[in-house]
Chains A and B, each alone.
Chain A
Amino acid sequence: MYIQEDRLETLFDLPIQLPQTMIPAAGWMAIATVQVPANTTLSLLWLQIYVAALENANSSDPCGIAGQNVINPNYLPGSLVSVFLIKDWSPSSEPWTQTIIDQVLVPADTTQAAAAVPPFIVVRPLTSQLDVTVAGNYTFVVLNNSTNRNLAITVDGAITMDADSLLTV
């Protein structure tokens, strides 16, 4: 199938990009915000979290934060780091209490293959593309779920905005 220049102008990629940053224990920060208007689709194609280093880690169990050392053991059991996609994010409320559209978790349990001693990387599966069509403001927020470790984290990702239907309205 061929496409025309007009069609290409309605498609563009946006970055989700956090250079290596030290997130304090129990801290969170926003990485990117995207406004989805009506007749537009946001597609999350790719997202990865790189945990470069831990501070204050127990040398024998650097990622073992399960139990009392997590912010919210009920909602985020065994998660060391989380990246949330939140609709209409409020910076004054905890991320996990808000409207979470998607999340990528870095497991904390050292028995899981993905969570060895840092540095390590977790990649959101490419096969599970997420499409968002409901109008609103969407924010990617990274959370350090541990209460006793500072984490040096990098996040990289990309979304595609498709405003094709705007041309035909």
Chain B
Amino acid sequence: MSQYLTDISLNGIVAAPLSVPQVALSAQQPALPIAQFTLSAPQILSMPYLILHFVKYLTLGFTDKRNTGLPTVYVGIYYQTGSAQDMPLGRPILYVGRDVPGVAVIPRSVVTTFKEPGLYRVLLVNNHVSSDVSVLVTGTVQISNIPTNG
């Protein structure tokens, strides 16, 4: 059941922007780290809005994918318990992507809330083997500090 907001609960919510203006992403340097957040208990990380705009191909080579289970261009959140990685390893815990130029948004039906303490890293990835692309990202991340009673 939803509760009325209090000054304490509102002050415990921090919103951070995710913004990458139109940028070239080459197949040789396919991943661009765009943000990272370190979550401590009992904080909650949520992503109410994340959009990827696959603007166009800059060079069209082979369109084969490095990771066949993911879109050709995507922005993903990777949960990392060790040191920060600049390359995508495995499957992101949340992602939005496109196989062809256009716009993709995380559906509102998808759960975008995370509570596990650790490092969350947002990577923009060109999953092509040899095609260069132009992309942009717009979004926001919220980190909530759950107020403790008493």
User: Which one, B85-93, B120-128, B134-142, is touching chain A?
Assistant: B134-142
Interchain CB contact under 8 A, A15 and B21: no
Interchain CB contact under 8 A, B21 and A92: no
Interface residues of B in 17-61 (CB under 8 A from A): 17-19, 21-22, 48-49, 51, 53, 55-56
Interchain CB contact under 8 A, A2 and B49: no
User: Is B68 in the interface zone, CB < 8 Å from A?
Assistant: no
Interchain CB contact under 8 A, A15 and B138: yes
Interchain CB contact under 8 A, B56 and A14: no
Interchain CB contact under 8 A, B55 and A32: no
Question: Which of B4, B13, B19 has the most C-beta atoms of chain A within 10 angstroms of its own C-beta?
Answer: B19
> A3-B4, A92-B56 given as contacts; is B51 within 8 A of A33 (CB)?
yes
Contact pick for A35, options B4, B21, B51, B136, CB 8 Å: B51
Residue numbers in B under 8 Å from A6 (CB-CB): 2
Interchain CB contact under 8 A, B17 and A30: no
Interface residues of A in 4-49 (CB under 8 A from B): 4-9, 12-19, 21, 29-35
Residue numbers in A under 8 Å from B108 (CB-CB): 163, 166
User: Is B9 in the interface zone, CB < 8 Å from A?
Assistant: yes
Interface residues of B in 94-150 (CB under 8 A from A): 103, 105, 108, 134, 136, 138-140, 142
Interface of A is mostly: strand
CB distance from A146 to the nearest CB of B (A): 20
User: Is A115 in the interface zone, CB < 8 Å from B?
Assistant: no
User: Is B83 in the interface zone, CB < 8 Å from A?
Assistant: no
Interface of B is mostly: strand
Interchain CB contact under 8 A, A31 and B136: yes
User: Is B81 in the interface zone, CB < 8 Å from A?
Assistant: no
Contact pick for B53, options A33, A163, A166, CB 8 Å: A33
> A3-B4, A13-B140, A166-B108 given as contacts; is B51 within 8 A of A31 (CB)?
no
Residue of A nearest to B104 (CB): A35
CB distance from A156 to the nearest CB of B (A): 10
Residue of B nearest to A8 (CB): B5
Interchain CB contact under 8 A, A33 and B2: no
Residue numbers in B under 8 Å from A2 (CB-CB): 4-5
Residue of A nearest to B52 (CB): A33
Interchain CB contact under 8 A, B49 and A31: no
28 contacts between A and B (CB under 8 A): A2-B5, A3-B5, A5-B2, A5-B9, A8-B10, A12-B48, A13-B15, A14-B17, A14-B49, A14-B138, A15-B19, A15-B138, A16-B19, A17-B19, A29-B21, A30-B21, A30-B22, A30-B136, A31-B21, A31-B22, A31-B136, A32-B21, A32-B136, A33-B103, A35-B105, A91-B55, A137-B103, A163-B108
Q: Which 10 A-B pairs have the closest CB atoms?
A: A15-B17, A17-B19, A6-B2, A33-B53, A4-B2, A32-B138, A15-B19, A30-B22, A29-B22, A31-B21
Contacts A2-B4, A3-B4, A15-B19 known; list 5 others, CB within 8 Å.
A4-B2, A14-B139, A18-B21, A30-B21, A30-B22
